[in-house]
Amino acid sequence: MTIHKPGPNDSADNKERLKKTISNMEAAEEALEFAEGKERASIKEKNARRQENIEDLQSEIKAEDESRIRGY
């Protein structure tokens, strides 16, 4: 059995992760039109988590940009 170790947080990937998360959220919103019952609830739950992730990534990107400006 292998143990999964998370990799280092590469801040260069944050903008790409943000774009991908937004794209996934938009695709899920379109799928909601055709979803029913448990599938619909699952999509809504995932999109709520995605929204939180988007906000976190935006804050992290902003903080990184401010750090670069200040020379940290």
CA 27 – CA 21 distance, rounded (Å): 10
Mean of pLDDT over the chain: 89
Taking the complete model, does pTM exceed 0.85, yes or no?
A: no
Residue 10 has pLDDT above 90, yes or no: no
Q: How many helices (H) and strands (E) does the chain have?
A: 2, 0
Residue 40 has pLDDT above 80, yes or no: yes
Residue 62 has pLDDT above 70, yes or no: yes
**Residue 31 vs residue 69, higher pLDDT:** 31
Say how far residue 3 (Cα) sits from the centre of its chain. 24
**How many residues belong to the chain?**
72
